């Protein structure tokens, strides 16, 4: 795993015990696998162990919210879920419907379960833009999603004290 080099996010406390789910879309696999690698690398750098990360795949970004809900149903000790996907604009309005539905669905799962569920879905005009945001010149949004889940888990635990 390569280092993520996010100095501003490099010292996020990892509360114990912890269990983090990652649900990854298989569609646009080149991009989503890079997002997953970024997220996992960042979590490991922070001190989360491989055993504390559970990863599952769904066919496309539209299935991410249901996949996140299924993961939470199966593991009541799961502290947060990262949803990783990539939707690229095509010639039809399909992009708009999928992007909005996924965003709404991810938010709904988090609200329904009371657990941080992070939207790590790229919504880009081109594959080039997606690659730039999954490890290219604009960094890796999977890393940002992993940092977000840790910050939200910490917030939730601090508020429950």
The residues near 138 (Cβ < 8 Å, ≥ 6 apart) are 132
Q: Please name every residue paired with 58 in a beta bridge, in sequence order, or none if there are none.
A: 25
94 among known catalytic residues? yes
Three-state secondary structure call for residue 62: helix
Q: For residues 64 and 58, is the Cβ–Cβ distance under 8 A?
A: yes
Strands (DSSP E) found in the chain? 20-25, 53-58, 80-88, 117-124, 134-136, 139-140
Residue from 94, 112, 138, 158 carrying the catalytic annotation: 94
Closest CA to 72 of 51, 48, 56: 56
80 φ/ψ angles, rounded to the nearest 5 degrees: -175, 160
Residues serving a catalytic function are 94
């Amino acid at each position: 795993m390569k280092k993520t080099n996010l100095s501003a996010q490099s010292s996020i406390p990892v509360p114990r015990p912890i269990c983090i789910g990652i649900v990854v879309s298989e569609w646009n696999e080149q991009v989503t696998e890079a997002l997953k690698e970024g997220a996992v690398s960042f979590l490991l750098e922070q001190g989360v162990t491989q055993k504390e990360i559970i990863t599952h795949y769904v066919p496309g970004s539209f299935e991410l919210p249901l996949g996140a809900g299924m993961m939470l149903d199966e593991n009541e000790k799961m502290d947060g879920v990262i949803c990783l996907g990539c939707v690229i604009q095509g010639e039809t309005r399909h992009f708009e419907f999928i992007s909005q539905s996924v965003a709404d669905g991810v938010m709904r799962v988090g609200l329904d379960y009371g657990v941080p569920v992070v939207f790590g879905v790229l919504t880009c005009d081109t594959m080039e833009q997606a690659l730039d945001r999954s490890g290219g010149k604009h960094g890796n949004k999977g890393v940002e999603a992993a940092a977000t889940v840790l910050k939200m888990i910490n917030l939730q635990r601090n508020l429950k004290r």
